[in-house]
Structure 1
């Protein structure tokens, strides 16, 4: 059983900084051994993040210096959705499944799109979303919020930008650097194409999503 920690973000404008402070002490634990409940409570969880993630690893350096980055992808985590307090399969919330659900059930709703734009720009959900078929709209937005945060950690921000207490780099297993990437923008661009009448199959060809 993972250790369960209820984590309440105090200042949404500093969400990345608060996460680095809370996650970094557990960097040396076994993958997925700590579950932070970031939406809801321990008794009624809505979204959890399982840490450390599979991409996090200790780097092997030929020479270690005082300013060496000994870790790679330090804030990788897995987003875990819940319904009625029970964990749902993450396979139902892959980028592919989220894209398909958006196209089939949500792409024509103006209010939902406005909420997606707000979420993309500042990680906030300020209203109750409209009732729509498919994946519950609020759960959809909350899952996407934390997937986007995870994408930003893995492909966009460096350790200084998120004020990490531990220096790290973003890189693949072969050592290629991945910082300054698109982060959340890649998936949001796919949603824009879906909204403007491109098919799911065609969007996957235009913007391959991992």
Structure 2
């Protein structure tokens, strides 16, 4: 069964950011999460999709507007959605807290899986066959993490100039404070590291790093 969404030809590695800036921004005025793009798998057998525009994207409320005004905030925000047997699943099941618990319970002792996390963190790539482990299926875990990390970088770290966006935008939190040059993916990676090396359990690592 084909999914009613557009299949993106996502480039490898860090070129992803520029590609997303070009593809997504043209739909910034569409209703929230109305556009579905398949980013892992195929239209017949999708594994990961992203829904755009995300809920953090909004037009900024400015007192005065001129030619240099930045009219948008969080322009490239999106929702990462997993698929199972061609059916879109609830994204909240794969939040950082749940992934960290799954990593602690089923995956932290597997050296190959950790090597793949390191590669993913550094290069945005998954080039090896994931090991078969209990809990969340290993490839699904890694691909969800890949796109959640990309989203984190776009929302909290990379500016519009970093991704060569044709539309200028600011990175802001709910109160309107700037979030650019933040930690991005590094926060959850730090939590994984602390749990893997037995410095903290997942509950405490969540409180320290992710709260």
TM-score by length of 2: 0.95
The count of aligned residue pairs is 208
Task: Describe the SS at the equivalent of 1:100.
Answer: helix
Closer, same or farther: CA 39–158 of 1 in aligned 2, 3 Å: same
The unaligned stretches of length 5 or more in structure 1 are none
Deviation, structure 1 residue 130: 0.7
Partner in structure 1 of residue 127 of structure 2: 126
SS in 1 for 2:117: helix
CA contact (8 A) 2:12 2:125 kept: no
Q: Which residue of the partner structure matches residue 200 of structure 1?
A: 202
Q: Is the 8 A contact 1:3 1:34 kept in 2?
A: no
- Counting only pairs closer than 5 Å after superposition, residues 57-76 of structure 1 correspond to structure 2 as 57-76=58-77
Alignment of 1:19-168 (within 5 A): 19-168=20-169
Alignment of 1:181 onto 2:186: no
CA distance in 2, matches of 1:115, 1:3: 31
Q: Which moved more, 1:155-164 or 1:171-180?
A: 171-180
Q: CA deviation at 1:11?
A: 4.3
* Secondary structure, counterpart of 1:14 in structure 2: helix
Deviates more, 1:41-50 or 1:15-24: 41-50
Structure 1 ranges of 4+ moved more than 2 A: 10-13
Listed one character per residue, the Cα deviations across residues 97-116 of structure 1 (whole Å, up to 9, x for unaligned) are: 00000000000000000000
Instruction: For residues 103-147 of structure 1, give each alpha carbon's deviation from its aligned partner in whole angstroms, at most 9, with x where no partner exists.
Output: 000000000000000000010000111110000000100000000
In 1, the alpha carbon distance for the partners of 2:75 and 2:128 equals 32
**After the TM superposition, which of the residue ranges 87-96 and 153-162 deviates more from structure 2?**
87-96
Structure 2: give runs of 5+ residues left out of the alignment: none
Counterpart residue number, 2:170 = 169
2 CA distance for matches of 1:59 and 1:5? 28
User: Deviation at 1:174?
Assistant: 1.8
How far 1:43 moved relative to its partner?
1.7
1:150-193 residue CA offsets vs partner (Å, 9 max, x unmatched): 00000000000011110000012321101110000000000000
